[in-house]
Amino acid sequence: MVDVAIIGAGQTKYGNHPSGLKGMWAEAAKNAFESVDKNFHPSKIDEAFIGSVAFGGSQLGNTAALLTEHSAMKGVPVRRVENACASSGFALRDAWMAIKSGQADIVVAGGIEKMNDLTPERKRFWLGVSGDTEWERLAGLTFPGTYALMARRYFHEFDSTHDDLVHISVKNHMHGLDNEVAHIRKNVSFEKAKNGFMVADPLTLYDCCPTSDGASCVILAADHVVKEFTDDPVWMLSSGAASDNLALHDRPSITQLVATQNAAKKAYNMAGIKPSDVDFAEVHDCFTIAELLATEDLGFAQRGKGGEFSRLGMGRRNEGDICINPSGGLKSKGHPLGATGTGQAVEVFKQLKGTVESSRIVRDAEIGITHNVGGSGATCAVHVFGRDRNV
Amino acid sequence: MVDVAIIGAGQTKYGNHPSGLKGMWAEAAKNAFESVDKNFHPSKIDEAFIGSVAFGGSQLGNTAALLTEHSAMKGVPVRRVENACASSGFALRDAWMAIKSGQADIVVAGGIEKMNDLTPERKRFWLGVSGDTEWERLAGLTFPGTYALMARRYFHEFDSTHDDLVHISVKNHMHGLDNEVAHIRKNVSFEKAKNGFMVADPLTLYDCCPTSDGASCVILAADHVVKEFTDDPVWMLSSGAASDNLALHDRPSITQLVATQNAAKKAYNMAGIKPSDVDFAEVHDCFTIAELLATEDLGFAQRGKGGEFSRLGMGRRNEGDICINPSGGLKSKGHPLGATGTGQAVEVFKQLKGTVESSRIVRDAEIGITHNVGGSGATCAVHVFGRDRNV
Q: What is the pLDDT of residues B167-225, one digit of tens each?
A: 999 999 999 999 999 999 999 999 999 999 999 999 999 999 999 999 999 999 999 99
Whether residue B268 contacts residue B275, with contact meaning beta carbons closer than 8 Å, is answered with yes
Q: How many C-beta neighbours within 10 Å does residue A174 have?
A: 16
Res A57: pLDDT: 62
Q: What is the mean pLDDT of chain A?
A: 96
Q: Is the pLDDT of residue A272 over 90?
A: yes
Q: Is the pLDDT of residue A302 over 60?
A: yes
Interchain contact, A243 vs B76, CB within 8 Å: yes
Window 65-94 of A: residues touching B by CB (8 A cutoff) are 65-66, 68-69, 74-84, 86-87, 90, 93-94
Res B118: pLDDT: 81
Q: Which residues of B touch A86 (CB under 8 A)?
A: 79
Q: What is the mean pLDDT of chain B?
A: 96
Whether residue A102 contacts residue A46, with contact meaning beta carbons closer than 8 Å, is answered with no
Where helices occur in chain B by DSSP H, the ranges are: 21-35, 63-69, 87-100, 120-128, 143-157, 162-176, 190-194, 223-229, 258-271, 288-297, 306-311, 329-332, 340-353
Which amino acid, one-letter code, is at B175?
Answer: H
pLDDT band at A54 (very low <50, low <70, confident <90, very high): confident
Interchain contact, B246 vs A83, CB within 8 Å: no
Q: Report, as an integer, the average pLDDT of A314-338.
A: 97
Complete domains list, chain A, with CATH: 4-119+211-234 (3.40.47.10), 131-210+236-384 (3.40.47.10)
> Could you give the CA distance from residue A108 to residue A84 in angstroms, rounded to a whole number?
20
Res B336: pLDDT: 96
Q: Dump pLDDT digits (tens) for A74-97.
A: 999 999 999 999 999 999 999 999
> Could you give the CA distance from residue A182 to residue A212 in angstroms, rounded to a whole number?
10
Interchain contact, A63 vs B78, CB within 8 Å: no
Q: Report, as an integer, the average pLDDT of B75-90.
A: 97
> Could you give the CA distance from residue B391 to residue B386 in angstroms, rounded to a whole number?
8
Res A256: pLDDT: 98
Residue of B nearest to A90 (CA): B79
Q: Is the pLDDT of residue A122 over 90?
A: no
Q: Is the pLDDT of residue B58 over 80?
A: no
Res A158: pLDDT: 98
Interchain contact, A102 vs B243, CB within 8 Å: no
Q: Which residues of B touch A57 (CB under 8 A)?
A: 56
Among residues B37, B59, B62, the alpha carbon closest in space to that of B50 is found at: B62
The secondary element (H helix, E strand) that includes residue A106 is strand A106-113
CA B151 distance to own-chain centroid = 21
Query: Do β-strands B234-243 and B4-11 pair in parallel, antiparallel, or remain unpaired?
Result: antiparallel
If one compares A19 and A225, the residue with the highest pLDDT of the two is: A225
Q: Which residues of B touch A75 (CB under 8 A)?
A: 242-244, 258-259, 262
Whether residue B201 contacts residue B142, with contact meaning beta carbons closer than 8 Å, is answered with no
Interchain contact, B102 vs A100, CB within 8 Å: yes
pLDDT band at A200 (very low <50, low <70, confident <90, very high): very high
Residues of chain B with pLDDT > 70, as a percent, come to 99
B354 touches chain A (CB under 8 A): no
Chain A interface, best mutation among B101, B126, B223, by max A CB count within 10 A: B101
Q: Report, as an integer, the average pLDDT of B370-377.
A: 97
Per-residue exposure over A15-27, b if at least 16 CB sit within 10 Å of its own CB, e if not: bebeebbbebbbb
Q: Dump pLDDT digits (tens) for B226-284.
A: 999 999 999 999 999 999 999 999 999 999 999 999 999 999 999 999 999 999 999 99
pLDDT band at B379 (very low <50, low <70, confident <90, very high): very high
pLDDT band at A121 (very low <50, low <70, confident <90, very high): confident
Q: Dump pLDDT digits (tens) for B83-129.
A: 999 999 999 999 999 999 999 999 999 999 998 888 888 888 888 88
Q: How far is A67 from chain B (nearest CA, A)?
A: 10
pLDDT band at A56 (very low <50, low <70, confident <90, very high): low
Q: How far is A175 from chain B (nearest CA, A)?
A: 31
Q: Is the pLDDT of residue B56 over 60?
A: no
Res B130: pLDDT: 87
Q: Report, as an integer, the average pLDDT of B35-42.
A: 98
Window 219-258 of B: residues touching A by CB (8 A cutoff) are 239, 241-246, 250, 258
Res B3: pLDDT: 98
Q: Which residues of B touch A64 (CB under 8 A)?
A: 82-83, 243, 379
Q: Report, as an integer, the average pLDDT of B41-55.
A: 94
Q: How far is CA B180 from CA A237, B14, B16, B122, B230, in A?
A: 48, 9, 14, 29, 24
Q: Is the pLDDT of residue A378 over 80?
A: yes
Rounded to 5 degrees, what are φ and ψ at A236?
Answer: -95, 100
Whether residue A237 contacts residue A368, with contact meaning beta carbons closer than 8 Å, is answered with no
Q: How far is CA B317 from CA A180, A235, B285, B289, B363, in A?
A: 63, 52, 16, 19, 9
B377 touches chain A (CB under 8 A): no
Interchain contact, A243 vs B94, CB within 8 Å: no
Res B57: pLDDT: 62
B102 touches chain A (CB under 8 A): yes
Q: CB within 8 A of A131, min separation 6: which ones?
A: A137, A141, A143, A146, A246, A247, A375, A376, A378, B61, B62
Residues of chain A with pLDDT > 90, as a percent, come to 92
Q: Dump pLDDT digits (tens) for A273-293.
A: 999 999 999 999 999 999 999
If one compares B57 and B175, the residue with the highest pLDDT of the two is: B175
Q: Report, as an integer, the average pLDDT of A56-60.
A: 70
